[in-house]
RNA sequence: GCUGACGUAGCUCAGUCGGUAGAGCACCUGCAUGGUAAGCAGGAGGUCCCGAGUUCAAAUCUCGGCGUCAGCUCCA
């Protein structure tokens, strides 16, 4: 028969398999195939179809199949070593796989080597992975005899008409939907990464299983590359860099709250100032509102009913009060204090004040998940006819802000959750407005059904960092509820009272969190405008100290952040330290420079240096910092020319 | 919150069998006056997370608490 494989027409005998097809197409390392969006196992016979694609490890679906079989190999190895294991679920995940299991032995990382060795044996033994479809009754009998109670529970949960498949490899059998590799042989390079608890069926009230995470590759080289990427992520960990660069610290007595060290405070303020500057251009008005309120406010806003478990509630003078987790109720109050005209709208209140949310202890994570933080928060009150332009403007600001950091981003639209306030019709309208604004902005987006806030649908923006990781940052939430609950009004053209619409939005999200993401994105090497110290003067010997101080003073007078290293150390030592401190520009000054009033400039990460007159360097640095340039040196090259 | 691991000098970590603690870096002092990623020598630095218990004796063993880490759950 004639089959189109990866775009080429190829003649194959009748009853050929996908493996035959891959071979005929000359693909050596085929893992599976894809046809009409479905993944097909290599051992299966070709179905009657238009065209197929051969999947290798380069394809995400191919990788998924590979990792899926890998986790079966791991389960088989664990069973050989710990026969009392009971298996729950074992899927592929983004970069590897995991298996949830119950066993009497508490696994520790020291056990991994033995399991990996057994996995290598299973790969070398190269068992065919055989799929069988069996009846529900046969499946129940099989897994009962094996004592696999979790598998029995899975079978019971399957719909009546579900096809039940099992996969065998050697002595091992597992309930599984597949798809899988044709044999265990390709699972050559494996690394188990961690073991942690995971609830059975993701249910907090059920038993806790042991989840073993691992990753695997067809070749040792691929595994090595992946492991060094993980190492790189570790090197960039903002908690580590935060301490090394003296940006922030945490203390046992204030879990979930950062101490901002002098260096970190500079970066923090630069971010806040940047936001302030951009938003002022768009007509935002900055405000400051109380951070402790009586429950009345939270009752009006609905937080008392829906969010209280996340709020810090304190007692004072026999009265209960609560720290604000969000600014919106305060801004609504502020809006309602005056009679508003249709001419005033949109009104845009921005606030950078402190927010507190009670987060469960196990969820805290450096700056990325804290209890005390600040947002580049704003609430926009607008007329219904301004919704489209209002949302479009926010999307524009997002582009301006993320562009400055060189961050790519992607967008998601989250719709009505199960627990919600208000009428379904209002929700539908709000969701439609957001979708339309995204379409007009030309931003492709994914829909997250049921993931919206309790008061309205939202657009979430995920930034993509230098390592390709995604972080949820900006959020834009349309809200018909708060105006209703706070009875907000404006006088329309006809003199009648009308209800405004509200937009909640933050671009960084939490400034703390965004800063943490930036630390990892830049690996601590901030662009000049964000760098705590933008330049550092290094005298060659102590007789050059006076000139060094003069150079530093001159730069400081221009508003630049400059340090000087006057210690009795050799130049190489000071340079090394300045590089590890990730200072953008080092200025070496010795006899030559002192004599001609120049500085020898060495940019971060470079070996070469160039000598420039003091004033020329100062001006270039000033331009670079003021312009919030992403890369180092553009103005320097200009200055030299 | 749950499961597991961990908590020793400012940082990274070692500490055997239960016998009162160590290294490197950083810091301080002295020598060296130096030209683009670590000069040499010396010194100081400890509530071994906190609290109980076992023991003649606890960094070490047991229990409880706090915190951190990996994950789960949660995340307007």
**A492: confidence class by pLDDT, cuts 50, 70, 90:** very high
Q: What's the CA–C1' distance between A112 and B18, in Å?
A: 31
Q: What's the CA–C1' distance between A594 and B41, in Å?
A: 33
Q: What's the CA–C1' distance between A364 and B14, in Å?
A: 30
**pLDDT tops 90 at residue A526:** yes
Residue nearest to nucleotide B34 (CA to C1'): A570
**Which residues pair with residue A380 across a beta bridge?**
A348, A503
User: In 3D, which of A148, A219, A218, A226 has the Cα closest to residue A183?
Assistant: A218
Q: Mean of the per-residue pLDDT values for chain A?
A: 90
Q: What's the CA–C1' distance between A246 and B64, in Å?
A: 35
pLDDT of residue A352: 96
pTM: 0.91
What whole-number distance in Å separates Cα of residue A455 and Cα of residue A453? 5
pLDDT of residue A49: 67
Pairing of strands A458-464, A470-479: antiparallel
Percentage above 90 pLDDT, chain A:
59
- A81-105, pLDDT tens digit by residue? 988 889 998 888 878 899 999 888 8
Residue nearest to nucleotide B75 (CA to C1'): A359
Geometric angle at alpha carbon A173, from A189 and A147, rounded to 5°: 125
Residue nearest to nucleotide B39 (CA to C1'): A570
Residue nearest to nucleotide B72 (CA to C1'): A198
C-beta atoms surrounding A570 within 10 Å: 11
- A96-133, pLDDT tens digit by residue? 899 999 888 888 877 888 899 999 999 999 999 999 99
Q: Which two tokens stand for residue A320?
A: 């209960």
Q: What's the CA–C1' distance between A527 and B47, in Å?
A: 42
User: In 3D, which of A92, A126, A129, A99 has the Cα closest to residue A115?
Assistant: A99
- What is A497-561 written as a DSSP string? EE--EEEEEEEEEEHHHHHHHHHHHTTT---TTT-SS-EEEEESSGGGHHHHHHHHHHHHHTT--
- What is A590-619 written as a DSSP string? -HHHHHHTEEEEEETT-S--EEEEHHHHHH
Residue nearest to nucleotide B36 (CA to C1'): A572
Q: What's the CA–C1' distance between A327 and B2, in Å?
A: 32
Give the closest nucleotide to A303 (alpha carbon vs C1').
B76
Residue nearest to nucleotide B66 (CA to C1'): A252
Residue nearest to nucleotide B49 (CA to C1'): A252
pLDDT of residue A48: 65
Q: What's the CA–C1' distance between A310 and B66, in Å?
A: 21
C-beta atoms surrounding A157 within 10 Å: 9
Give the closest nucleotide to A419 (alpha carbon vs C1').
B76
**pLDDT tops 80 at residue A36:** no
Structural contact between residues A274 and A397, judged by C-beta atoms closer than 8 angstroms: no
- A297-326, pLDDT tens digit by residue? 999 998 888 888 899 998 888 899 999 999
Q: Report the run of H or E that residue A215 belongs to, with start and end.
A: strand A208-217
For the segment A171-175, the average pLDDT, to the nearest whole number, is: 92
Give the closest nucleotide to A594 (alpha carbon vs C1').
B35
- A388-447, pLDDT tens digit by residue? 889 999 999 999 999 999 999 999 998 888 878 778 887 888 888 888 889 988 889 988
Give the closest nucleotide to A580 (alpha carbon vs C1').
B37
Give the closest nucleotide to A577 (alpha carbon vs C1').
B37
A397-435 burial, b at 16+ Cβ within 10 Å, e below that, comes to: bbeebbebbebebebbbbbbeeebbbeeebbebbbebbb
Catalytic residue annotation of A: 328, 357, 375, 377, 379, 458, 504
Least confident interval from A22-36, A343-357, A611-625: A22-36
User: In 3D, which of A86, A90, A51, A58 has the Cα closest to residue A180?
Assistant: A90
pLDDT of residue A641: 62
Those residues with Cβ within 8 angstroms of residue A563's Cβ, 6 or more apart along the chain or in another chain: A533, A535, A536, A537, A552, A583
Structural contact between residues A177 and A165, judged by C-beta atoms closer than 8 angstroms: yes
**A292: confidence class by pLDDT, cuts 50, 70, 90:** very high
Q: What's the CA–C1' distance between A107 and B4, in Å?
A: 9
pLDDT of residue A639: 66
Those residues with Cβ within 8 angstroms of residue A284's Cβ, 6 or more apart along the chain or in another chain: A348, A349, A350, A378
For the segment A492-519, the average pLDDT, to the nearest whole number, is: 94
ipTM entry: 0.92
Those residues with Cβ within 8 angstroms of residue A455's Cβ, 6 or more apart along the chain or in another chain: A302, A420, A421, A422, A477, A479, A481, A482
A531-542 burial, b at 16+ Cβ within 10 Å, e below that, comes to: bbbbbbbbbbee
Residue nearest to nucleotide B7 (CA to C1'): A252
Question: Which bases of chain B come closer than 7 Å to a protein CB?
Answer: 1-5, 7, 11-12, 31-39, 66-76
Give the closest nucleotide to A593 (alpha carbon vs C1').
B35
User: In 3D, which of A590, A611, A596, A610 has the Cα closest to residue A539?
Assistant: A590
Q: What's the CA–C1' distance between A364 and B47, in Å?
A: 27
User: In 3D, which of A67, A66, A69, A16 has the Cα closest to residue A46?
Assistant: A16
Q: What's the CA–C1' distance between A504 and B64, in Å?
A: 45
- A440-484, pLDDT tens digit by residue? 888 899 888 888 877 788 899 999 988 888 898 999 998 888 998
Give the closest nucleotide to A369 (alpha carbon vs C1').
B75
Q: What's the CA–C1' distance between A551 and B58, in Å?
A: 58
């Amino acid at each position: 028969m004639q089959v189109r494989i990866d775009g080429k027409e190829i003649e194959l005998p009748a009853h050929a398999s996908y493996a035959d097809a891959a071979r005929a197409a000359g693909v050596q390392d085929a893992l599976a195939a894809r046809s009409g969006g479905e993944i097909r196992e290599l051992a299966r016979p070709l179905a009657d179809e238009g065209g197929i694609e051969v999947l290798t490890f380069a394809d995400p679906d191919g990788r998924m199949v590979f990792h899926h079989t890998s986790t079966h190999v791991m389960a088989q190895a664990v069973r050989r070593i710990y026969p009392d294991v009971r298996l729950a679920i074992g899927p592929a995940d983004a970069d590897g796989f995991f298996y949830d299991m119950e066993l009497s032995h508490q696994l520790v990382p020291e056990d991994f080597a033995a399991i990996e060795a057994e996995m290598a044996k299973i790969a070398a033994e190269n068992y065919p992975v055989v799929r069988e479809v069996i009846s529900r009754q046969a499946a129940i009998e099989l897994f009962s005899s094996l004592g696999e109670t979790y598998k029995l529970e899975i079978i019971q949960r399957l719909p009546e008409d579900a096809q039940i498949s099992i996969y065998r490899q050697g002595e091992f059998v597992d309930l599984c939907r597949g798809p899988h590799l044709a044999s265990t042989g390709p699972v050559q390079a494996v690394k188990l990464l961690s073991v942690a608890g995971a609830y059975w069926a993701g249910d907090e009230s059920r038993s806790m299983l042991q989840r073993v995470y691992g990753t695997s590759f067809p070749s040792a080289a691929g595994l090595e590359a992946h492991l060094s990427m993980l190492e790189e992520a570790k090197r960039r960990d903002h908690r580590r860099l935060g301490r090394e660069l003296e940006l922030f610290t945490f203390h046992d007595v204030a879990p979930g709250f950062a101490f901002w060290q002098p260096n970190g405070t500079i970066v923090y303020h630069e971010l806040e100032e940047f936001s302030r500057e951009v938003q002022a251009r768009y007509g935002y008005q900055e405000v400051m509102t109380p951070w402790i309120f009586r429950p009345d406010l939270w009752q009006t806003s609905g937080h008392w009913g829906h969010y209280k478990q996340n709020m810090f509630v304190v007692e004072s003078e026999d009265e209960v009060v609560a720290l604000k987790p969000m600014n919106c109720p305060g801004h609504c109050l502020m809006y309602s204090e005056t009679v508003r005209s249709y001419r005033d709208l949109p009104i845009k209140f921005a606030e950078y004040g402190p927010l507190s949310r009670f987060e469960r202890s196990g969820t805290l994570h450096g700056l990325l998940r804290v209890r005390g933080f600040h947002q580049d928060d704003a609430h926009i009150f607008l007329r219904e006819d301004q919704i489209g332009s209002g949302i479009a403007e926010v999307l524009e600001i997002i582009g301006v802000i993320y562009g400055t950091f060189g961050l790519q981003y992607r967008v998601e639209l989250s719709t009505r959750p199960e627990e919600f306030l208000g009428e379904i019709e209002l929700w539908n309208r709000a969701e439609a407005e957001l979708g339309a604004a995204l379409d007009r902005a030309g931003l492709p987006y994914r829909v997250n059904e049921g993931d919206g806030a309790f008061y309205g649908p939202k657009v979430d923006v995920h930034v993509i960092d230098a390592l390709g990781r995604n972080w949820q940052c900006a959020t834009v939430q349309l809200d018909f509820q708060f105006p209703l609950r706070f009875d907000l009004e404006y006088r329309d053209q006809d003199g009648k009272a009308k209800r405004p619409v509200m937009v909640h939005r933050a671009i960084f999200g939490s400034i703390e969190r965004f800063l943490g993401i930036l630390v990892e994105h830049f690996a601590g090497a901030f662009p000049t405008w964000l760098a705590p110290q933008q330049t550092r003067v290094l005298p060659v010997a102590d007789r050059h100290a006076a000139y060094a101080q003069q150079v530093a003073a001159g730069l400081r007078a221009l508003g630049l952040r400059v340090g000087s290293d006057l210690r009795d150390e050799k130049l190489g030592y000071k340079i090394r330290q300045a590089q590890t401190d990730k200072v953008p520009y080092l200025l070496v000054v010795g006899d030559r420079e002192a004599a001609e009033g120049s500085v020898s400039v060495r940019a971060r990460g470079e070996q070469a240096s160039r000598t420039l007159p003091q004033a020329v360097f100062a001006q270039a640095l000033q331009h670079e910092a003021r312009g919030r340039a992403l890369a180092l040196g553009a103005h320097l090259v200009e200055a030299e020319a």
